[in-house]
Each structure stands twice: as C-alpha cells, then as structure tokens.
Amino acid sequence: MARDYYGTLGVSKNATPEEIKRAYRKLARQLHPDVNPNEEARFKEVTAAYEVLSDPRKRQVVDLGGDPLEPGGGGRGAGGGDPFAGFGLGDIMDAFFGAGAGGGGRGPRSRVQPGSDALIRLSMTLEECAAGANRELTVDTAILCDRCVGSGCAEGASPVRCDTCGGRGEVQSVQRSFLGQVVTARPCPVCRGFGEVIPDPCQQCAGDGRVRSRRTISVQIPAGVAEGMRVRLAGQGEVGSGGGPAGDLYVEVEEIAHDVFERDGSDLHCSVRIPMTTAALGAVLPLSTLDGEEELEIEPGTQPATELVLTGRGMPRLRSNGRVDGRGDLHVHLDVVVPTKLDARQTELLRELASVRGEEEPSLSGGGKGGGLFSRLRSGRGHR
C-alpha cells in the first residue's frame, strides 16, 4: 500500500512546493534527533516524504497512486534503502536556519547595496560647546556617479547574465557524506555573486556606480555638546555600490581644553587666587564667565579652599532628545595666597597686627581642660 506522504507532512495534495518546504522545515525543527532523540523514526519518515514531494517526478508517481520508494515503484526499497540517499545536507540546514544556510539557494545578491556610515571629528572650544555653532565642514565620501546614475554601465550598455554561474551568483560543489549529498556553495568569482557582469562599464566610476567626491556641508551643533558626543546627519554618508542609498554622516565633537575652566558634565570649575588680606577683609572682585563679567563677592574672614557656587553659570544641560534643560553651576575655588617674602615695613605691620590680636605665640587647638597635649605629657612625667 502506498504511503501517505502528504499526510506525513500535513499538507494537501494541492500544496505548492513552497508550502511543502515550509511544512517540512517546521516538522524537522521539532523532530530532529538533536532536538528530540525519541522521534528519530518519525524524523526519517518526514525526511523521506519531503524528498519525494520536493522531486516533481517522484511526486507525479505519488499522485498516480504509486510509491517511488517501494520496489518497482520507481524508487528504492523501503526496507533496506537509505532514507537520506540523494538528500542534501543543505536541505536539513535550510530547515533549521532558512534557505541558503547549507550553502545553496541564496541566489544572486543585488548589485545595489546600502552605503556605509561616515565619521568626521570636529574640534570646538568650550565657548562654542556652550553656545552651539553652525559650521561648514569639508567631507570626502562616495557620491552617486552622475554619468551612469548608479548603473555602472556605459551609455547604451546593460548588464548580462554571468556564464560561469548561469545567473545564480554562486558556484556549487557536491560531495557525498553519511547524510547523502553535501552541497557547498561560494560566490561566483567572475560576477562576485551578482549573477551578472557588466561587459562595458562606465569609465567614470569603473562600474561601481559611485565616485569619490570632496564637498562642503553645513552642520548645526546644538548648545551643550561635550567631548565624544555625535551629531547625526541622515543620508550624508557614503553612497552604496550600484547607487544604493547613502548612509549617515556622524560629526563627533572634540572639546578643546580651556585655559580657565574645567568641565564636569554641565558644571564648570575654576580657581581664583586671592591675597590673604583680601581673604581677611573681604572684597568684590570681577570674574569672567561664559556669560560675561560677573561680580564675585569675597566675604571677610574667607578661609583657604573655600568654594563659591554661581548657580546657573555652567554649561547647558543637553538631553538625549536634543533639547536644553537648564544649566549647570560654576564652582569657584578660592586659593588664599600667603606671602613668602616680606620687607621690613610689611614685617613690622604684621607683627603689630599679631600683637593686637594676641597672636605672638602659636597655640595648639584641641587643648581642652587640663592644658594641651605637651603640658599633659610633662605633667605625667613629673608624677613618676
């Protein structure tokens, strides 16, 4: 009795070759011994059914009521035959990974390929990063060949089918293995996988459909950018081979170190040196910021390493959506300068000040009740 190959794959007798292949792939994924060791017999049945129904001549035998795998049925014997004979490893690979995974069935690749992205670095000052800038950049990228408009052919010419691969874009070799025929494929060395060749290429682009060009473009850099940030210019990158769509151009910011300010995210830091007299008496000093000159108020009695914060005088906070959300702060670190050389008059004045303040002799802080550390040590030795 003839086997029900259609039922084995779960398809109707009117199923198309694509429907048969799709049904086989689904079952093979479920029943393959590496996935389901207990279903090896069922996997062999499904494989045999696919081999029969994917062959037009064997399928015709089935449709006429015969069995191409039975003795006298146009095929090999069911009992001692190899169910994998004549069955390529590429078919199994196709079932698990899609057409082409086993080395065959890919077909020619398109000559028109998308272009790659391009990157250019732009040096900017801190002031430019804070305010934003409109810059003119010179870029060197591939652009569409204006003579052949991407076709790669000379005027009046057109591509022809590759004789080496017959238009398939690949050449195959067949070897026998325990699974049957193993088909390996590689891109055709003549047409490079396109399936066609250009006998009369464009002289301007040598058949590539694109040429190198140096051009000037305008780019708007938003306020608040920082070192390493990139601005994307869609479609301004490399045009693809065969006149394919261009990639994007990325402008990467390189921030030039500032002479005064040090950046920390959206905050700025700077150091201001003040004389000890200014720290003691206080003063109002001019300070140059990104917004112009500001007044910096030094309180009387300011101590070394004091930090003053000017709110909102830092860098713009640039969010990922390209919008600015407020500004950071400017941190001013005060460095009190103590003179190292004094003339006679200065020395006299400082001694007089020390006398008035009762500061002729230094004292240790933290003495507390009972005297300082050294007096306690002396007292301790006296009681021994």
- Report whether CATH 3.40.50.10740 matches the domain 259-335: no
pTM: 0.61
DSSP string, 39-81: GHHHHHHHHHHHHHHTSHHHHHHHHTT--TTSTTTTS--TTTS
| pLDDT-based confidence at residue 235 (cuts at 50, 70, 90) | very high
Q: Which residue has the higher pLDDT, 343 or 36?
A: 343
**In this structure, what token pair is assigned to residue 57?**
């001549």
Residue with tokens 């792939």: 25
Per-residue pLDDT at 47 exceeds 90: no
Residue 252 CA to residue 256 CA, distance in Å, equals 13
Per-residue pLDDT at 96 exceeds 90: no
**In this structure, what token pair is assigned to residue 133?**
């800038």
Per-residue pLDDT at 95 exceeds 60: no
What is the chain's alpha carbon radius of gyration, rounded to the nearest angstrom? 42
Residue with tokens 């790659």: 116
| pLDDT-based confidence at residue 93 (cuts at 50, 70, 90) | very low
| pLDDT-based confidence at residue 178 (cuts at 50, 70, 90) | low
pLDDT tens profile 254-276: 999 999 999 999 999 999 999 99
pLDDT tens profile 205-229: 999 999 999 999 999 999 999 999 9
- Report whether CATH 2.40.10.480 matches the domain 109-152+206-256: no
Question: Edge-to-edge, what's the strand order for the sheet holding 307-310?
Answer: 262-264, 267-275, 330-337, 307-310
Of 111, 60, 49, nearest to 84 (Cα)? 49
Asked whether residue 129 is marked as a ligand-binding residue, the answer is no
| pLDDT-based confidence at residue 63 (cuts at 50, 70, 90) | confident
Homologous superfamily, domain 1-67: DnaJ domain (1.10.287.110)
Residue 63 CA to residue 56 CA, distance in Å, equals 10
Asked whether residue 270 is marked as a ligand-binding residue, the answer is no
What's the rounded mean pLDDT across residues 62-70?
A: 77
Of 117, 116, 118, 120, nearest to 221 (Cα)? 120
Which value, to the nearest 10 degrees, does the dihedral of the CA atoms of residues 361, 362, 365, 371 take? -40
| pLDDT-based confidence at residue 83 (cuts at 50, 70, 90) | very low
pLDDT at residue number 90: 45
Asked whether residue 205 is marked as a ligand-binding residue, the answer is yes
The residue ranges of every structural domain in the chain are 1-67, 109-152+206-256, 159-196, 259-335
In order of 31, 37, 179, the CA distances from 91 in angstroms are 15, 20, 10
| 1-67 and 109-152+206-256: identical CATH topology | no
pLDDT at residue number 56: 81
91-106 core/surface letters (b: 16 or more CB in 10 A; e: else): bbbbbeeebebbbbbb
Residue with tokens 């995210």: 265
Q: Which residue has the higher pLDDT, 360 or 188?
A: 188
**In this structure, what token pair is assigned to residue 350?**
């400082």
Residue 125 CA to residue 90 CA, distance in Å, equals 59
Round the average pLDDT of the chain to a whole number and report it. 83
End-to-end CA distance of the chain: 120
